[in-house]
Structure 1
Amino acid sequence: MPDKKQKSQTLFSHEKRTNMAYIIVAAGKGQRAGTVVPKQYCLIAGKMLLTHTVKALRQANPDALFVVVINEDDHDLATKALAGAKNIITVTGGATRQESVYAGLTALKAEAPEFVFVHDAARPFVSSVLIVNIESDLQKGADAVIPALAITDTLKRATNGMITDTIDRAGLYAVQTPQAFNYSKLLSAHETAPHNDFTDDAAVFEYAGGTIHICAGDEGNFKVTHPADFAKAEAQMMLACSDIRVGHGFDVHAFETGDHVTLCGVDVPFTKKLKGHSDADVGLHALTDAILSAIAAGDIGTHFPPSDEKWRGVESHVFLAHAAQLVAKKQGIVSHITVLLICEQPKIGPHVQAMRQAIAGILSISIDRVSVQATTTEKLGFTGRKEGIAAEATATIRLPFGVPYE
């Protein structure tokens, strides 16, 4: 394949060099999925499909370099999906999968890893066990290893809805990714392959005369392709995180002279502001404590002590994002949150939607998992006297069993 100038963008730091690299193919439009945005950027269990896939691969090899091949129109979506990740670059793909993988291989020339794994962005359930099995075959001397499942169903060929013959299934396999190769040999195979739009890299390697080993695939490593696959994927992720934890948080802040209050990440015009060491966002403070409570990780003062001047005036989304990162480190999911704001003034109703959107953005979850409500105390107590605002919050967190809480 002739050289093509590719547009690439380094999103995150490249910290370590290893003998293995990963190419994640995410340049397609996913039309069969019937989604508004490409399927790799659709939310499953509150996070983008691509985010889940990168996380799964990282668990097996956290220090490897990743190249994510994306569509030229999807840079903003990719940036969001890969936020916080390390050792990742993006490169613009081509019109076919073959061209996109070649773009990823070209981006790795300076690194020249010994082995490269090529994986579909739409396979978020790849296991560390599968990766280790593939690596084992590579270390034994194989130039190419692909996971595959033997076909067990009866196969028929049909024309115009009518069966024409039965196909012998002996020796037939359904191929999965990641497919792993000697890097230099796969690059050479792509450089010499015709533009036949090979559907996987094993086919390109075969065309170049390479020998490919098969290792046992994984039934759970399915590809999200059709609309029904999204429900299947979400159910599988939720089943994996079946340790359900509910946390509670509460906070109050008094009014002082000002021109707005910050509530749930939104500046609400008002004749006063809330007094506090940070921005005094009572809603986000209560929610941060609720999440920390759910994972038994102390409270907001444990992580951001008010005695420390470096937190003075800090926007409270920093605290909430930190709590979400702790959940992610435990391989958990923020399943649902509720914030109840208690005050006579200002009026919360006109700002509820903006608050929900702000919280969803901080936590990287879908807005339908975020509830913001408001009530009064019927003019009773300090909130009834308009001396300040109180907030209660609950957070439902799903964690895998066996993850330590300390």
Structure 2
Amino acid sequence: MTQVSIVIVAAGRGSRAGEGLPKQYRKLGGKMVLTRTIESFLAIDPTANIICVIHPDDMALYKAATEGLELQEQVLGGETRQDSVRNGLSGIEHLNPDYVLVHDAARPFVTEEVYRGVMEALESGADGVVPAVPVTDTLKFVENDTIKQTVSREHLYAVQTPQGFPFQPLIAAHEATIGQELTDDAAVVEAAGGTIVISAGNSRNVKLTTPDDFKKAEQQIMMALGDIRTGGGYDVHRFEDGDHVWLCGVKLPFTKSLKGHSDADVGLHALTDAILAALCDGDIGTHFPPSDNQWRGAPSDVFLTFARDRVLARGGQIGHVGVCLICEKPKIGPHKDAMRDRVAELLEIPASRVSVQATTTEKLGFTGREEGIAAQATATVRLPLGDT
């Protein structure tokens, strides 16, 4: 059986993307870019061995991005991209695969067609394969902001990754070109005397570099998440003796507490049920039965992040959530912004997509008699088309 290893180069700083993070660790549709890149390859070829080359300062980010994924142990990058790839190759030398694919971490949309095209060309005997797309824009040669010449597009291609090579020849090519400044692995093999062929690239397989790239990528994900669902949740907790209440993840000093098996955060309970309802995935009692003592006194953020992760596991995204707290006391208004921020933090979405409201029942009913608090919640979830 043909053995394939994939080296994902994730040691760059990527500062042009903004937000103060290397671009491979920025969130894209609720997941880090690197996570999406790895998951794309695992979906295409679950038998491939994947190793990531990372910056030594990014270990915590890398661990967060790869939690639960089966990968080879990461290696650290070098001073240049060539150094980093060479380190990655050394990290899989014990596997001695037949072929190795080298891929940019910031290309999360690699498709099976691109992958198969590279593999087919490799198996036909190529020294190296680069996915590429024809250049379609008109090209100009410019000096000092002045166009000097229109350049013919004929025979011009924009290259992408993953770039594929027989494993041992790629190692030899890297060793033979140490000290040369080469921009990709195809150039390394060419400089060592090899011949590179192209396979079909894909316009979706873009490298994320600028803030505008990320905006377009978010739109691309949104277009794929066409199954839009709305779920609702409702919860009630009565008051008991105490000195605080938990509401929407915020601890409020009060003359009473809410009674419940967990911390009785009525807002987060209703919101958890709303998300699970959108997924048609039971309710909070299904997954966290009150008969199970491990949840006694548990913080309700455990339940909400569980529901969030159920959405992400299905390739989905939480688009908007809203909570309405129904009580006479305590006063919710002074704490709304803190509640929105906490819910946004737990769901890993912008606070601009979180609504927290409050109302009374004009002294009517159990909330009007100040016997407890009720909460209603809604959640909008986007799932991939065809999700069942």
Which of the residues 269, 275, 279 maps onto 2:259?
A: 275
Which of the residues 115, 123, 142 maps onto 1:158?
A: 142
Task: Please provide the CA RMSD for this pair.
Answer: 2.6
- Give, in whole Å, the separation in 2 of the partners of 1:359 and 1:348: 15
Asked whether the equivalents of residues 97 and 197 of structure 1 are also in contact (C-alpha less than 8 Å), the reply is no
Asked whether the equivalents of residues 382 and 388 of structure 1 are also in contact (C-alpha less than 8 Å), the reply is yes
TM-score (norm 2): 0.90
Structure 2 residue 231 is matched with structure 1 residue 240: no
Which of the residues 91, 105, 112 maps onto 1:121?
A: 105
Aligned in 2, Cα 1:84/1:253: closer, same or farther, shift over 3 Å? farther
TM-score (norm 1): 0.86
Q: Which structure 2 residues correspond to residues 74-89 of structure 1 after superposition, within 5 A?
A: 74-87=58-71, 89=73
The CA deviation at 1:388 is 1.8
Structure 2: which amino acid aligns with 1:343?
A: C
The CA deviation at 1:398 is 0.9
Q: Which moved more, 1:201-210 or 1:236-245?
A: 201-210
**CA offsets 1:195-224 (integer angstroms, 9 cap, x no match):** 333221111122222333311000111122
- Give, in whole Å, the separation in 2 of the partners of 1:330 and 1:280: 28
The CA deviation at 1:261 is 2.4
Q: Which structure 2 residues correspond to residues 195-206 of structure 1 after superposition, within 5 A?
A: 195-206=179-190
Aligned to 1:393: 377
The CA deviation at 1:149 is 0.8
SS of corresponding position for 1:102: helix
Asked whether the equivalents of residues 63 and 87 of structure 1 are also in contact (C-alpha less than 8 Å), the reply is no
The CA deviation at 1:175 is 0.3
* Structure 1: stretches of 5+ with no match in the other structure: 1-17
Aligned to 2:131: 147
4+ runs of 1 displaced by more than 6 Å?
Answer: none
Which of the residues 305, 317, 335 maps onto 2:301?
A: 317
Aligned to 1:134: 118
Which of the residues 234, 247, 256 maps onto 1:250?
A: 234
The CA deviation at 1:250 is 0.9
Aligned to 1:178: 162
Which of the residues 356, 360, 368 maps onto 2:344?
A: 360
- Give, in whole Å, the separation in 1 of the partners of 2:167 and 2:350: 38
Asked whether the equivalents of residues 22 and 67 of structure 1 are also in contact (C-alpha less than 8 Å), the reply is yes
The CA deviation at 1:362 is 3.0
Aligned to 1:298: 282
* Structure 2: stretches of 5+ with no match in the other structure: none
Q: Which structure 2 residues correspond to residues 57-96 of structure 1 after superposition, within 5 A?
A: 57-87=41-71, 89-96=73-80
- Give, in whole Å, the separation in 2 of the partners of 1:345 and 1:133: 64
- Give, in whole Å, the separation in 2 of the partners of 1:175 and 1:290: 45
Aligned in 2, Cα 1:68/1:399: closer, same or farther, shift over 3 Å? same
Aligned in 2, Cα 1:248/1:168: closer, same or farther, shift over 3 Å? same
Aligned to 1:334: 318
- Give, in whole Å, the separation in 2 of the partners of 1:267 and 1:103: 48
Structure 1: which amino acid aligns with 2:296?
A: R
- Give, in whole Å, the separation in 2 of the partners of 1:192 and 1:45: 41
The CA deviation at 1:382 is 1.8
Q: Which moved more, 1:163-172 or 1:323-332?
A: 163-172
Which of the residues 362, 365, 369 maps onto 2:353?
A: 369
**CA offsets 1:281-307 (integer angstroms, 9 cap, x no match):** 222211111111112222222222333
Which of the residues 9, 13, 16 maps onto 1:32?
A: 16
Structure 2 residue 227 is matched with structure 1 residue 266: no
Percent of residue pairs bearing the same amino acid type: 56
**CA offsets 1:338-367 (integer angstroms, 9 cap, x no match):** 222222333434444443343333333333
- Give, in whole Å, the separation in 2 of the partners of 1:344 and 1:138: 70
- Give, in whole Å, the separation in 2 of the partners of 1:161 and 1:167: 16
**CA offsets 1:280-339 (integer angstroms, 9 cap, x no match):** 222221111111111222222222233334433333233222222222232211111122
Which of the residues 192, 204, 207 maps onto 1:220?
A: 204
Structure 2: which amino acid aligns with 1:234?
A: E
Q: Which moved more, 1:384-393 or 1:91-100?
A: 91-100
The CA deviation at 1:193 is 1.8
Structure 2 residue 264 is matched with structure 1 residue 286: no
Number of residues of Structure 1 aligned to a counterpart in Structure 2: 388
